[in-house]
Structure 1
Amino acid sequence: MIRMDSQKPISYANLTINGQIFTVTKATIRESLEEIFFAECEGYCESMESPLFQSLNSTLSNDLDVYKFLDKQAVLKIKKIALQNASDSNSINLPSGGGNDESVYNGIISEVGYIGTSNSGSNKNSIGQKYFFRFVLSSPLFRLSINSANRIFTDQTVIEVIKEILKFYQASPIKEVDFSNIKNSYEAREYISQYNESDLDFLQRICFNNGIYFYEDDDKIYFYDTLNISGFEQANSGSAASSAPSDVREVNFNPNINNILNQECIKAINKTEILNTNNFSYSSQNTMYPTVLDMVNSKQNEKTKYNAHFHLGQYSFTQQESLSIPTELKRRRSILNLNTYVADSNVFGLKLNSGVSLNYDPSSLKSDAKFDFKIIALIQNFIDETNLENRLDTNDIVPIAGKSFSTSYSNQIIMLPSSAVYVPKFKTKPRPPEVTLGVVIGNNGIDDEKNTIHTDEYGRVKVRINAFASQESVDNSTNFSQNNINPTNSNDYSHSAYLRVMTPIASSNSGFFAIPRIGDEVVVSFLEGDIDKPMVSASLYNAYNPQLPNLPSDYHQTTISSKTIGVNENGRNEFTFSNLKDKEHIYLKAEKDYGELIQHDFTQTILNDKSSKVLGTYTERIQEAHVQTIDLAKNVNVGAEYLTTVGLSRDTIVGLSNTLNVGIDSKIRVGKDSSEYVGNDKNIEIKGNLDTVIYKNENRTVKEDKKDVIEGSYELSSSKGINEYTQEHIVLQADNYIDIKSKSNLTTNTDSQHTEVADSKFSDIKSNYEVDAGNQIIHQVGSTQIEITSSNVIIRAGGVEAIFDQRGITVIGGEVRAE
C-alpha cells in the first residue's frame, strides 16, 4: 500500500482514493445535464514504494485486487482560491469551507495514468518520493457505460425501466437516486428495447427522448422532466433582476479583461444563432387510419401550428404512441438551440441546474432586459502549481529554473434564459439488425404449449427474439443472487410484446391470415429501421418444426397445411400440389369438417373419372331444380334403405330399359293417385305372395284377352256381391269338381238357353224344391220322359204314354192296372 509522508502539503485540491490522498495540481471538471460528470486530474502522492512495482507484484502474485485505484470510490475536494497576488505565496489564504467555498465530487476512478516520479535520494530530510499520476474521476453512473446489452421491456413506463436498469448496480454502491422532481405521468409502453447499447447510453436515450434529464451532486442523482431551479418562479416581463430570489447566485458582469482585483464575475457572454431546418415536424404513417393528418398546437406558441403525421400505434393496433420523440419536445429543443449562451467567468461554487442572476449597470442596458439564467453545462479549470513550488526537490523531474508557478480558477458556463424550458439533446436509436430470428412463445414453456396459439384481438404474437436471448443469463448471474433482488422482468428480456405478423395481403377487403404458433421459428424485421418497431415477417422450418413433405423424396410437393391445435395433436388440414410430369396432383385434406359457400354459380368440369366416397351420411339440398344428364349409364347401389321424397310431381324418362333390383323389400307409397303406362308388354314375377289391399273400387280394363294361370287354389272373397259380365260367354271348367255354396238364395238367370251337362246330378233339398217354367218342363232318362206343361203332364216310358190333364188320366199304348 502506498503510504504518505507524515508532512501534509498545503493544497487547494485533494483527491482521496480508497483512503489514499493525492495532491491535485490540475483539474478540469466537466458537468452537463446531457452527460455524466467527469474530472481530469493531475497530482501526486508521496511514498517509499513505487506504485508500478506494487502493481507488478500484485499481478505476479495473482492478487485479486490487482487494481489499487481503478474503479475505486474517490472524492475530489476543491477549495476556493483566496489570494491577492498569485506570485506571492504568503498572500494565500485557505477558506474555512462550507457554502460556495468548497466543491465536492464523489465518483469512481475510470482512468489511471502514471506520469513519473521525483528522485529524493539527495534530500536527507525526506525518506519518500513524489509519484505523479493522471486520474479521471467519473460519475458512478460511468459503470453503466462499460457494457453492451440487449433487453426488451414490455408493459412498463419509462420511469419503471430507468429504475430497473439502476437495480443492476446495487451491488456496486452508487448515489441515492431522487425521482421526486418527476412531475409528469408516463403511460406504460408495450415495447421498449435496448439493443447493442450500454446501460448508460440506453438510459440517456429513453430519458432525453422523453424530455427527462438527470444530474448529480456529491450525495444524490436527481431526475427531472422539467427544469426546476430552486427559488425560481416562471419568469415574467415585469420582473427585475434585483428581485431574484436569495438562493439564486447573484454574479457581477464585468467585461473588463484586466480585472486587476481578481473580482469574481462573468467577464464575457457569447451566443451563436444558426438557421436550421424544421426538425420538429415529421411525416410517417398511421397504421389504423393512414390518411389522418393531425395538427400539433403548442400552448407556448398559440400563433404557430405545425403539421405532423403521427402514429396512433406505430408498431401495434393500439392507441398508444410509440417511442418516437414527441413533436412538442422537438419544437422546444429548436427554441433552446437559439437561446443558448456561453459565458466565461471565475466565479467559484456554481452548481449545475442552478440559477444565475447577473448584476449590471442599468444605465448601459435596456430596462426591460432579462438577465436571469439557468446553468445547463459547466466546465471548470483549476490549477495549483504553487504547491509544487513549495515542495519541489532539486532533483524533481520539473526543472525549477525559469519555471513560473501559478494558481488559478476559471470556468465556462453554458446557460439558458430562465424563461426558457430546457429539453435535453435527443439521442438516436441504435440501428437494428435488418432481420433476426426468434421463437413464438406463450405464457409457459414452449414444450408445454407447443403447437398452440397465444394471441390478442389483433392476431399479434409474442416472440422470444434471439438477438436479445443471451442477456437473460448475463443479468440473472450478476447482482440479483448476491443481493436477493427479484426484479419484475429478470427472466424475460428476450420476450417481446405482441408483434404484428406480416402477410402477403392484409386488409378488410382481401387478405391472407395465419397466426404463428408457439414453438414456430420466425424472422423478425424492424419497420422503418426502428428497433422499437419489430414485426414478424416470415417463418422458417427447422428440425424442431419440420416441413410436411418428406424430403428429399417429396421435393416436388408444394403444401399449405395447418395442424390441429394442441401439444400432442397430429391431425392437420392440408392442401398439397404434386408437380411431377404426367403425375400432377392436387390433394385436399380436411381433418374433420369441410364447408363451401358459393354465392352464385358453381361450375365443375371433369375430363375423366370422378370418384366420391362418403363414410357417413350424404345430405344434399337443392332449392330449385336439379338437372342431371348422363350420356351413357348410371348405376346406383343402395346397401340399405333408399328414400326419395318429391314434393310435387316426379317424371322419370328412360330411353331404353329400366331395371330396378331390390335385394329385400320394395315399397311404393303414393299419397293420392298412381298411374302406370306400359307401351308394350309387362311381366311381373313374384317369388312369394302377392297381397293387394284396395280401400275403394278397383276398375281394370283389358283390351284383349286375359289369362290367369293359378297353379294352386283360387279363392275369391267378397263382403258384398260378385258381378261378372261378358259380352260373349263365361266358361267355368274344373278338372275335378265345382262347388257353388250360398248361405242364402242361389239364383241362375239367363235370357236364352240354360244347359247343364253332367254325368250325374244329385239334388238334396232340405225343404221345398220348385221348378217354374213358362212353357214346359221335360225330365228324360234314356227313352223315359216326363213332360210338364201348363195344361198337362205326359209320362212316356216303355212305349207307354200317360197323359194327366183336366180330363183325367189317359194311357196310350198300355193298360191301367191297379195292384
Structure 2
Amino acid sequence: MSVFSQDARLGRLTTVLGPDILVLRRFDGDEALSGLFDFTVEAVATRDDLDFDSLLGTHATVTLVGADGPAHFDGIVTEARWKGPSENGWRYDLRLRPWFWLAGQRRNMRIFHNKTVVEIIEELLSDYAHLGEPHLEVALIGDYPELEYTVQYRESDLAFARRLMERFGLSFHFRHQEGAHTLVMTDDVLKHETFGTRPFYGMGQNKGTGGEHFWEWGPERRLTTGATRLMDYNFKTPTAAMESDRMGDAQYAEGQLEAYDYPGDYLDLGRGNKVAQLRCEEERGNDARHAATGDLIGFRPGHVVHLAGGDAVPGNGNDHICLAARYRFVSQSYGSNREAVAEERPFVGDYKLMPTTAPMVPPRTTPRPVVQGPQTAVVVGEGEIDCDEYGRILVHFHWDLEKAYSMRCRVSQNWASQGWGGMVIPRIGMEVVVEFLEGDPDKPLVSGCVYNGKNKPPYPLPANKTKSVFKTDTHKGSGFNELTFEDERDEELIYMHGQKDQEIVIENDRSKTIGRDETNSIGRDRSQAVGQDETMSVGRDQRENIGQDVIYQVGRDQQEKYGKDHVHVVGNIHKQDIYADHLVQIGRNHEETVFGKSTLNVTEAITNNTAKHTLMAYEKFVIKGPGGKITLDASGITLEAGSINLKGAVSMGGSGSAQVPTLQNAARDALPLVEECVTQKD
C-alpha cells in the first residue's frame, strides 16, 4: 500500500492502479485548437514493479485546483517509463494523449456514399465511443452538403477525420473530466466555452488579490494572403460559371495578394463562394495573435477569456479565444527537504490567443492522400450491364475489404461530343483500369479494360497475335458481333459477324471495289429499292439460277441488247401480253418451229410485205373466208364458194380446151379445175 497521499495538494494524479499508487510530481502539457494534446506526467510510486500492461491504453487524469475549482487533464496512457529511484520511492514517466490519438494507430481504406462530412466523422469515430462519456460532441451551426463519394485511402482514422474537418472549416478541442474527455467539434466561436474574465498585471506590478491573471501579454500581426480565387469543373454542367473569388479585410500594404487554386472542391458556384470565403478566412485568421503567460489553471484551447481589469494592454476589454497552450506544474516534494524544489508559481501557462472577432478556420495541414498512378478494379452492378445516362459504371477496388462499390465512374471513350462520338460500356465482371483526377481517390475515371486469368482474349495468344479483334457478347443470351482484321502476310482478312441484323445507312454515294471474286449467300428474301437509275456492267458471263418465279414490272420502256446470240428456253408456257404495238426487227433470217399447234388471232388485218412468200403445209392447206374456201391437199385444189369472180386475163396451161369456157363450165357444174381429175374419171 502506498505511503504517499495527494489529499490537500494542489495537484493529484488518478490512474487505474488505484488511489495514490502513483502520485503527481510534475505535469507538462502541450495543447492546441484542432490539435492533439500531449501531456507528460512525472510521478512517484513506492514500488518499482508497476504493471505497465495495466496502465497502457487506460485513462489517467491530472487534477489541478484553480480559482474556479478543480481542472482536469485527462488522457490515455500511451507510454510508461521507469526512471529509477528518487526521494522515498521510484520515479515513473507517463505520457497521456487523447483517445483521438488512438485513431491514428488504425489505418484503413473504405468508401462512404452520400453522407455529409458530419455523418462520415460520426460513423468513422463510432468505434471509439467506449473511450469517452461521450467521446464526441457535435456543436455546429452550419449546413454541410451531402458528398456523393468520399474515400479513406491508405490513411489513419485520425488523418482522415482531420482532413475532412479542415476541408470544411471544422475546429475541434477537448473537454476534460476525471476519467474521460470529449472531443468537441465546432464551426463558430459562439459554440466555444467561456472561461470568464481575467486581468493583466505586469511583472513589476502588485498582483492585487493574488487571483489568476496574465503577467505577459503581447499582440502580434502577420502579413497574409488577402484574396482567394478558385475554379472548378462539373461535367454535369460543363458550361456553368464556376469561378469564385473573395477579398479579405487587410488594410496594410500588399494585403490584397491573391491565392488562386484549382480544383476548388465544389460542384456549383453557390458552394464555390462558400469555399472561397472559407479559404480567405483561413488565411486572414493567421493575422492577429496575442502571446500571453499566466497562471490560469483550466484555461485551455477552445476557451474564450475576457481580458479586463489590471494594467492597460492592447486587447484589454475584448474577448479572446485560446488557440494553443503550454502548461507546467510542479508539485510539492514527497521526499526530504534537500530534494524539494522551490517554486514561486507551481503552475505556469503560455498561451496563444486570437480576438474572437477574427475568423476562426483551422489551417489545412493534413495532406490529402494521392493515388500514385492507375489501379485496376472489377466492374460491378445489376444485371450484365449497369450504367447511368452518362455511361458511368460502378467498380469494386481490389483493396476494398468491405466489398463496397465506387461512385459512378465516367468511362474514357475514343471520342465524345454532343450526340456523337464513341461509346463502349464495360460490363459486369470486366477488369478495368482506373485513373484518378489530380491523384484524388475521390475522383476515379475509368480509362480502359484489361484481360486476366478469367477473362481471356477472343482468340488464343500468341497463336493469333496478328489479329486485331473487336468482339462483343450478346446481352442476356448467347451470341456475338465481331469485327476482326487479320494481318498475317498473304492471309490478310477483314471478318465481320453479326448475330442478327445489319443496317447500313449512306446519306450520299457509296462505292465498292472488289479486286477478284464476290460471293453472296442470302438465307431468305432479298429486297432492293433503287430511287432512280441502276446500271450493271458484267465483263464476261452472267448466270442467274432462280428456283421458282421471276416477275418483272417495268414502269415504262425496257430495252435488251445482245451482242451475239440470245437463247430463250421456256419449260412450259410462254405468254406475252402487249397492250399496244409489237415491233420485231430481224437483221437476217427468222425461223420458228412449233411442235404442236400455232394459232394467230388478229382482230383487224394482217399485212405481209416480202419479195417472196412461201407457205407450205405437209398434209392440207386451207384458205377460208366469209364467201368460201380453198383447200390444198393430196387430192388437189378445191375451191368452194357461192360465186367465183375472176377479173383479168386467165391463162391456163395444159392440153385442155380453151381456158375461159372451161372455168365457166367448171364453176357452173362444180367440175374440177384440172385437166385430169381422177375422181371425175371414176
- Pick the aligned partner of 1:550 from 432, 449, 460: 460
217 and 402 in structure 1: CA distance in 2 versus 1, 3 angstrom threshold: closer
435 and 749 in structure 1: CA distance in 2 versus 1, 3 angstrom threshold: same
Q: Across the two proteins, how many residue pairs are aligned to each other?
A: 646
Q: How far off is 1:412 after superposition?
A: 2.1
Partner of 1:524: 434
Larger radius of gyration: 1
- Pick the aligned partner of 1:458 from 372, 387, 390: 390
SS at match of 1:280: strand
**Is 1:152 equivalent to 2:111 in the alignment?**
yes
Q: How far off is 1:553 after superposition?
A: 1.6
322 and 651 in structure 1: CA distance in 2 versus 1, 3 angstrom threshold: farther
Q: 8 Å contact 2:470–2:482 — kept in the other structure?
A: yes
User: Separation in 2 of the partners of 1:370 and 1:645?
Assistant: 108
CA offset digits 1:166-191 (Å, max 9, x no partner): 23334x43332565522222222221
**Is 1:626 equivalent to 2:575 in the alignment?**
no
334 and 313 in structure 1: CA distance in 2 versus 1, 3 angstrom threshold: closer
**Is 1:697 equivalent to 2:592 in the alignment?**
no
710 and 532 in structure 1: CA distance in 2 versus 1, 3 angstrom threshold: farther
Partner of 1:175: 133
**Is 1:534 equivalent to 2:534 in the alignment?**
no
Partner of 1:117: 85
301 and 7 in structure 1: CA distance in 2 versus 1, 3 angstrom threshold: closer
- Pick the aligned partner of 1:422 from 322, 344, 360: 360
Q: 8 Å contact 1:229–1:354 — kept in the other structure?
A: no
Q: 8 Å contact 1:311–1:322 — kept in the other structure?
A: no
Q: How far off is 1:706 after superposition?
A: 6.2
Q: Which sections of structure 1, spanning at least 5 residues, go unmatched?
A: 56-66, 81-98, 121-129, 232-246, 394-399, 444-448, 473-490, 756-772, 782-819
Mapping for residues 438-517 of structure 1, pairs under 5 Å: 438-443=377-382, 449=383, 452-466=384-398, 468-470=399-401, 472=402, 491-492=403-404, 495-508=405-418, 511-517=421-427
Partner of 1:29: 29
776 and 283 in structure 1: CA distance in 2 versus 1, 3 angstrom threshold: closer
Q: Which sections of structure 2, spanning at least 5 residues, go unmatched?
A: 652-663, 673-682
Q: 8 Å contact 1:29–1:39 — kept in the other structure?
A: yes
SS at match of 2:82: strand
Q: 8 Å contact 1:158–1:186 — kept in the other structure?
A: yes
180 and 732 in structure 1: CA distance in 2 versus 1, 3 angstrom threshold: same
Q: How far off is 1:429 after superposition?
A: 0.7
User: Separation in 2 of the partners of 1:72 and 1:192?
Assistant: 32
Partner of 2:11: 13
Mapping for residues 353-372 of structure 1, pairs under 5 Å: 353-360=302-309, 371-372=318-319
**Is 1:582 equivalent to 2:490 in the alignment?**
yes
Partner of 1:71: 57
User: Separation in 2 of the partners of 1:715 and 1:212?
Assistant: 125
Q: 8 Å contact 1:287–1:313 — kept in the other structure?
A: no
402 and 735 in structure 1: CA distance in 2 versus 1, 3 angstrom threshold: same
User: Separation in 1 of the partners of 2:250 and 2:575?
Assistant: 93
Q: 8 Å contact 1:28–1:382 — kept in the other structure?
A: yes
Q: 8 Å contact 1:76–1:106 — kept in the other structure?
A: yes
**Is 1:435 equivalent to 2:435 in the alignment?**
no
Partner of 1:212: 170
TM-score, normalising length: structure 2? 0.82
Partner of 2:157: 199
Partner of 2:90: 131
CA offset digits 1:624-647 (Å, max 9, x no partner): 221222222222222222233333
User: Separation in 1 of the partners of 2:468 and 2:242?
Assistant: 47
Q: How far off is 1:655 after superposition?
A: 2.1
Partner of 1:811: none
**Is 1:225 equivalent to 2:219 in the alignment?**
no
Q: How far off is 1:676 after superposition?
A: 4.5
User: Separation in 1 of the partners of 2:250 and 2:218?
Assistant: 30
**Is 1:338 equivalent to 2:269 in the alignment?**
no
User: In structure 2, what residue type is equivalent to 1:429?
Assistant: R
SS at match of 1:532: coil
* Structure with greater proportional strand content: 2
Q: How far off is 1:739 after superposition?
A: 11
Q: How far off is 1:32 after superposition?
A: 2.4
Partner of 1:804: none
Q: 8 Å contact 1:313–1:319 — kept in the other structure?
A: no
Q: How far off is 1:513 after superposition?
A: 2.0
User: Separation in 2 of the partners of 1:668 and 1:254?
Assistant: 131
Mapping for residues 224-373 of structure 1, pairs under 5 Å: 224-229=186-191, 249-256=196-203, 263-277=211-225, 280-283=228-231, 285=233, 287=235, 294-296=242-244, 298=246, 326-360=275-309, 371-373=318-320
User: In structure 2, what residue type is equivalent to 1:280?
Assistant: T
**Is 1:639 equivalent to 2:547 in the alignment?**
yes
Q: Please, which moves more after superposition, 590-599 or 213-222?
A: 213-222
Q: 8 Å contact 1:253–1:360 — kept in the other structure?
A: yes
751 and 626 in structure 1: CA distance in 2 versus 1, 3 angstrom threshold: same
Q: 8 Å contact 2:200–2:213 — kept in the other structure?
A: yes
User: In structure 2, what residue type is equivalent to 1:645?
Assistant: Q
Q: 8 Å contact 2:293–2:349 — kept in the other structure?
A: yes
